[in-house]
Structure 1
């Protein structure tokens, strides 16, 4: 779990989250998103980027999956 400053928390709560993506939709797409990021670190998915900026739970899930898959790819 990442500890964030009060300013970072306020910024994430007030971040523009458009185009809108729900947590359920994010969860359904996170595997494809991580795979795409591994192939192209500059991968553009505006809805995922917006959602992950504003949702700490989904961001932590995506970051953990990215670390896990990246570490597995190195082996």
Structure 2
């Protein structure tokens, strides 16, 4: 029974750590997109849409900053 408790606690801790890691990466990506948009609410919405598009296109993490910068420069407004 002791091993079961240790295994359950370890698995739960690893799952929580993974969930937190993914959540923090998403927050950082969102903050990057919003920082490139400045204070314009329409551009912020545009950049969040571009971030969603980057996720759909599976843009690599190392390329995301450059990709978002190009999208910000191409903002039509």
Name the structure, 1 or 2, with higher relative contact order (CA <8 Å, separation 6+).
1
Higher helix share: 2
Whichever of the two has the greater Rg, that structure is 2
When the two structures are superposed, what TM-score results if normalisation uses the length of structure 1?
0.30
When the two structures are superposed, what TM-score results if normalisation uses the length of structure 2?
0.29
